[in-house]
């Protein structure tokens, strides 16, 4: 029997824990976590993501500060807003929704955010901390994948993990997080030779390649755990990077799209914001 990994369930449990922590911070330190979300321009998908993040904040008791800027916002104006949010004591997390309009420099924006408020975990200081095994902010999507694997008691130690995709947001941090849990990790990508053959060696296959339904039964070893990070809008609706119907019966566990990794990304954003707030007042939840 294949286990269907229910991201909505794990995300709900994560958010319940976050809400309890918000309460503790409020009661014991008199502080309420705050998340500033900055959206530049009018990309419809970004607008809907941002709306969902604001709803999540309301659900767990995090104050959300909403900054919607016109598409022609200059780098100087955006920099000024980030500086203001960096200095604002009520703001513990800052998220600038990507992608930014072409005339803005994403790298400069990421580097301008105070690393302790970088709840995306994209700042070089946080990425560097991950490489060095430090307790710095980690990117939400790969962190959400780790939480799912933990919640479903999927052992990683000594297992062969293949991460398909090498993006800075998902693939690279994902490989490091799996390595941290003592998996033997290979990062595969579009130029990998015999990609399907390599993926077939995986006990755990995390797919973040951005190609609708690319991973079919030729990529999957019987009994493998399949985590599909893909979210592709197609004529047949939202589909992942994995051809779910073709691989489901082979897998021991698999995430659906939607309802798998997607809800976890937002739950981990809430979790990172609460952690940033706790750190700012030297509070530990242990
Ligand atoms: N755009 C798509 N995913 C993300 C994300 O995780 N963080 C930010 N800031 N922008 C995104």
- Mean pLDDT over all residues of the chain? 97
Q: How far is the CA of 269 from the centre of ligand 1 (A)?
A: 10
Q: How many CB atoms neighbour CB 241 within 10 A?
A: 22
Q: Catalytic residue at 97?
A: yes
Tokens of 27: 């009661």
Between the alpha carbon of residue 56 and those of residues 18, 41, 42, 61, 90, the distances in Å are 11, 22, 21, 9, 18
Query: Ligand 1 test: best mutation among 37, 47, 98, 107, most atoms within 8 Å of CB?
Result: 98
What pLDDT shows up at residue 67? 97
Measured from the CB, is residue 246 less than 6 Å from ligand 1? no
CA distance 54 to 50: 6
What pLDDT shows up at residue 4? 98
What pLDDT shows up at residue 180? 98
3-state secondary structure (DSSP) of residue 219: helix
The predicted-structure confidence for 240-265, as pLDDT tens digits, reads as follows: 999 999 999 999 999 999 999 999 99
CB–CB of 142/177 below 8 Å? yes
Looking at the CA of residue 140, tell me the nearest atom of ligand 1: 6
The predicted-structure confidence for 199-229, as pLDDT tens digits, reads as follows: 999 999 999 999 999 999 999 999 999 999 9
Q: Which of 15, 56, 117, 120 is catalytic?
A: 120
What pLDDT shows up at residue 202? 98
CA distance 228 to 247: 11
Measured from the CB, is residue 120 less than 6 Å from ligand 1? yes
What is the percentage of the chain residues whose pLDDT exceeds 90?
98
Query: Ligand 1 test: best mutation among 39, 85, 95, most atoms within 8 Å of CB?
Result: 95
Measured from the CB, is residue 261 less than 6 Å from ligand 1? no
Confidence of residue 194 (pLDDT cuts 50, 70, 90): very high
What pLDDT shows up at residue 269? 98
CA distance 101 to 132: 32
Measured from the CB, is residue 140 less than 6 Å from ligand 1? yes
The predicted-structure confidence for 60-106, as pLDDT tens digits, reads as follows: 999 999 999 999 999 999 999 999 999 999 999 999 999 999 999 99
Q: How many CB atoms neighbour CB 26 within 10 A?
A: 13
DSSP single-letter state for residue 123: S
What pLDDT shows up at residue 128? 98
Q: How far is the CA of 42 from the centre of ligand 1 (A)?
A: 15
Shortest-distance Cα residue to atom 9 of ligand 1: 97
CA distance 68 to 171: 29
What pLDDT shows up at residue 258? 97
Q: What is the mean pLDDT of the segment spanning 40-54?
A: 92
Measured from the CB, is residue 238 less than 6 Å from ligand 1? no
Q: Catalytic residue at 120?
A: yes
- In 2-110, which ranges are E strands? 3-4, 34-40, 63-69, 93-96
CA dihedral (191, 192, 193, 196) positive or negative: negative
């Amino acid at each position: 029997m294949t286990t269907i990994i229910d991201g909505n369930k794990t995300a709900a449990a994560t958010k319940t824990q976050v809400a309890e922590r918000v309460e503790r911070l409020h009661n014991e330190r008199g502080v309420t976590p705050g998340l500033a979300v900055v959206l530049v321009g009018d990309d419809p998908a970004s607008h809907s993501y941002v709306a969902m993040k604001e709803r999540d904040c309301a659900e767990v008791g995090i104050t959300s500060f909403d900054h919607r800027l016109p598409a022609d916002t200059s780098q100087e104006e955006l920099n000024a807003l980030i500086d203001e949010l960096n200095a604002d004591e009520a703001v513990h997390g800052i998220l600038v929704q990507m992608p930014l309009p072409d005339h803005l420099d994403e790298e400069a924006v990421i580097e301008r955010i105070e690393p302790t408020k970088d709840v995306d975990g994209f700042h070089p200081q946080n990425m560097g901390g991950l490489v060095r095994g430090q307790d710095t902010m980690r990117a939400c999507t790969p962190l959400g994948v780790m939480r799912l694997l933990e919640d479903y008691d999927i052992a990683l130690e000594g297992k062969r993990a293949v991460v398909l995709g090498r993006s800075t947001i998902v693939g690279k941090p994902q490989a490091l997080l799996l390595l941290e849990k003592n998996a033997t990790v290979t990062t595969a990508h579009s130029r990998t030779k015999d990609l399907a053959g390599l993926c077939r060696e995986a006990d755990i296959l995390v797919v973040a390649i951005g190609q609708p339904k690319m991973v079919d039964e030729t990529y999957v070893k019987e009994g493998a755990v399949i985590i599909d990070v893909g979210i592709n809008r197609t004529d047949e609706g939202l589909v992942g990077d994995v051809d779910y119907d073709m691989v489901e019966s082979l897998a021991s566990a698999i995430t659906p799209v939607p309802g798998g990794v997607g809800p976890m990304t937002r739950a981990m954003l809430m979790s990172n914001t609460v952690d940033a707030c706790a750190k700012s007042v030297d509070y530990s939840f242990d």
